[in-house]
Amino acid sequence: MRGPLVVVVLVGLGACADDPGASAPTVPNPTASETVNPAPGLEADAMAPAVQASDPTSADAATDRLLAYIGAHAEGSAEADTFWAPEGLPTGADVSTEPFRQSGQRVAGATVDEPSRPEGAAGSVYVTVPATLVVRTEEGATETVRLAYTLRRVNDIPGAEPWSLRWHIDRVEAVRP
């Protein structure tokens, strides 16, 4: 498992989110921390390398899905909420802690820390990924928000829907300092 992952590049991550055949460039011999440098003003750097987990059932793959979700929101993609479920946000999903859902705010960068170890429960596997989002307001001010995303995937159960076999967001919670 890789160490803490620092990502401040978001534009372009959402584009290959659901295409398992899409290949992303990999970083050879990643160190304990992987950093993508931001362009001026925390804007995305389209030339930054992306890291993609080789095992789609791993905690690293869950982290990759979360980064793709955050990237999709940063790009303003209408498809971003399909990272929860194919039809979008499930009824009752509480996303009030996500700053990019508030008018006048957008994600300008993100840091994703080491995911939890995968934990199983009733045919599903869960991984929690802590994330720090840098949010920019329309006025140009920035703030930092800490969230914990829990991602879920079904454990290769016969008859399971293909989307449920991929990591998808199950819930998000604010992390208090």
Position 27 confidence tier, pLDDT thresholds 50, 70, 90: very low
Which pTM does this prediction carry? 0.72
Burial 27-46 (b: 16+ CB within 10 A, else e): eeeeeeebebebeeebebbe
Cα–Cα distance for residue pair 136/129, rounded to 1 Å: 22
Cα–Cα dist 50/144, whole Å? 23
Tens digit of each residue's pLDDT (9 = 90 or more) over 99-158: 989 889 989 999 999 999 999 978 999 999 999 999 999 999 999 999 999 999 998 888
Closest CA to 33 of 13, 15, 8: 8
Domains of the chain: 5-174 (3.10.450)
Q: 148 forms bridges with which residues in the sheet?
A: 130, 173
| HEC-encoded secondary structure of 41-90 | HHCCCCCCCCCCCCCCCCHHHHHHHHHHHHHHHHCCCCCHHHHCCCCCCC
User: Taking phi first (over 0 means left), then psi (-120 to 50 degrees means alpha), and beta for anything else, what does residue 171 get?
Assistant: beta
